[in-house]
A and B are shown apart, each in its own frame.
Chain A
Amino acid sequence: MINVDNIYKQFGKLQVLKGVSCKIEKGEKVVVIGPSGSGKSTFLRCMNLLEEPTFGEVWLDDKLMTRPDPYLHVELIEKTKTYKKMFDARAGESSDAEALKSQIIKEIKEKDLLNEKREGGEYKKAYKEFYKANAIDINKGRAKMGMVFQHFNLFNNLTVMQNLTLAPVKLKLKTEEEAAADAERLLKRIGLFDKKDVYPSTLSGGQKQRIAIVRALAMDPEVMLFDEPTSALDPEMVGEVLELMKDLAKEGMTMVVVTHEMGFAREVASRILFMDEGVIKEENTPKEFFAAPKDERLKDFLAKVL
């Protein structure tokens, strides 16, 4: 469903993600844990392009969300001037053209030799064709991915009901009547139907977060991304939000959850990723993950949080 292919993210000089790959299948519940500052949020935000990866690609259902990354496609590299020059210069060196080719491609990738502006017309044409054939409109892609933020981010100038209906109606996914009916159903489900006409400022943190979750659900997303959804809540409200997330998981929703709630990870995750220093250091089923961690940093981390 989501294929994150070798993404890098730089903020100025700061390297935050350093080659992260992750395939998420339909129905999977992937939990991401790791120390703060390790790049978890950035990783999640790259999935729906709230941050644009510096290198690498993000695919959603065989559709490209990012711009193509030429380093990931041999057929694109082959069309570049850089490749052709290197190949011509070294063609005499070896009789095995195939071996030379893969050697040059490896060097180009490792040394980051491509310069988009100078790779020539043939490359540009191929790049454009590749992009046209595979890209999805970024807003259409995002509409299929729900996102829940640490600080809720409910629209302050809209009522609860309007929060739920704005995007589906504006994006013409539903008529106003359909959107209102779905919103009612969702609000009833979380027991907050009586709040439909109030503004977010009057709600408790737990209520806000549950409404933020159903606001995302109102788009009928294929996958839900959660970025520490309970970290900003008072302890007594954490439970109600986790319960809702567990219900979603049981219904088969595909989920990617960044969290510090180890109980939730153990219970719900089909797979846990340990992110540290901008890479995924370890990846395993919850059982193995907690029982037999291999990475040293993970062992330290688990010792601290458990």
Chain B
Amino acid sequence: MLLDGLKNTAIIAVFGLFIGLIIGSLIAVVKLAPIENLFFKALKFLGDIYVALFRGTPIVVQLLLTHYVLFPLMGINIPPVFEGVITFGMNSGAYISEIMRSGILSVDKGQMEAGRSLGLSYVQTMWKIVLPQAIKNILPTLGNEFIALIKETSVVSFITVIDIYKAFQSIANNTFEYIVPYLMLALVYLILVIIITLIVRAIERRLRASDKR
């Protein structure tokens, strides 16, 4: 059960972050696109609403709505873990879109101009030149986002997912021994966070090394 819990926590955090990155990048790129036609105005508006909705409500509420209202209404029946992945992915997408936006804005606009002046399209330049630099700039912030995400995943127990928190909780409840399991739980989160921090640092160091070579 402990291993299952750990697995579920990891699945939700990692895939959630992955989905969040995709959604966040898309929203940020659309919002910053220098295209003023009606279609893009509508897209930008939808992006604003999306971000407002997901940032304006607690993640627990979003989970409960997904699990008990939205998916049943749409007739979607998937394991709760994946509901967790989707909800966390969409939620972090809203936060990441704002992080990504500031990351893109932090890249010198001469980079985009140089790409466009060579005949590359907006999307090509964004993808090959601007986004890689933006992601490098926001990597520490993204690391923090991931850490926050891992810790927040504990609320998936509300929709019956056994994550690492739930696993330790049931150990505590079954053995009437609270101190050790909950200390262990804290320790596991701490170790996860330290591992992530180390990974983020390593990636940063590698990116920086490629600068100086």
Contacts and interface: CB of A to CB of B under 8 A. Distances in A.
Our verdict on whether A and B bind, yes or no, reads yes
Interface of A: 48, 50, 139-147, 149, 151-158, 166-167, 170-171, 197-199, 201-202, 212, 215-216, 219
A147 B117 contact: yes
Contacts of A151: 108, 110
B205 to A, nearest CB: 15
Given A166-B128, A201-B211, A143 B118 contact: yes
Given A151-B110, A157-B132, A166-B128, A142 B116 contact: yes
Interface stretch (B49-57, B78-86, B119-127, B139-147): B119-127
Given A157-B133, A166-B118, A197-B213, 20 more contacts: A50-B113, A139-B120, A142-B117, A142-B119, A146-B117, A149-B113, A152-B110, A153-B108, A153-B110, A154-B114, A155-B114, A155-B115, A155-B129, A156-B133, A166-B120, A170-B124, A201-B212, A202-B212, A215-B118, A219-B119
Nearest to B128: A166
A139 B120 CA distance: 6
A43 to B, nearest CB: 15
B136 interface: yes
A157 B119 contact: no
B111 interface: yes
Contact of B119 (A139, A149, A156, A158): A139
A199 B120 contact: no
Contacts of A50: 113, 116-117
A98 to B, nearest CB: 40
Contacts of B213: 197-199, 202
Given A149-B110, A157-B129, A171 B119 contact: yes
Contacts of A48: 117
Interface string B74-105: 00000000000000000000000000000000
B210 interface: yes
Nearest to A166: B128
Contacts of A171: 118-120
Interface in B194-213: 210-213
A96 B210 CA distance: 75
A143 B116 CA distance: 9
Interface of B: 108, 110-111, 113-121, 124, 128-129, 132-133, 136, 210-213
Nearest to A49: B116
B121 to A, nearest CB: 6
Residue among A149, A155, A199, A215 with the highest chain B CB neighbour number at 10 A: A155
Contacts of A152: 110
A173 to B, nearest CB: 9
B203 to A, nearest CB: 14
A140 B119 contact: yes
A17 B108 CA distance: 25
A157 B116 contact: no
B25 to A, nearest CB: 16
Contacts of A149: 110, 113-114, 117
A50 B118 CA distance: 11
A174 to B, nearest CB: 13
A201 B108 CA distance: 14
Contacts of A219: 118-119
Contact of B121 (A139, A157, A198, A216): A139
Contacts of B210: 199
Q: Sort A-B residue pairs by CB-CB distance and give the 3 closest, nearest first.
A: A143-B119, A153-B114, A153-B110
A109 to B, nearest CB: 26
A38 to B, nearest CB: 21
A79 B119 CA distance: 34
A202 B128 CA distance: 21
A170 B114 contact: no
A167 B113 contact: no
Nearest to B118: A167
B118 A199 contact: no
B124 A199 contact: no
Residue among B110, B118, B121 with the highest chain A CB neighbour number at 10 A: B118
A150 to B, nearest CB: 9
A202 B213 CA distance: 8
A50 to B, nearest CB: 6
A88 B212 CA distance: 72
A258 to B, nearest CB: 14
Contacts of B124: 170
Nearest to A171: B119
Contacts of A166: 118, 120, 128
8 contacts: A50-B113, A139-B119, A142-B119, A143-B119, A153-B111, A153-B113, A215-B118, A216-B118
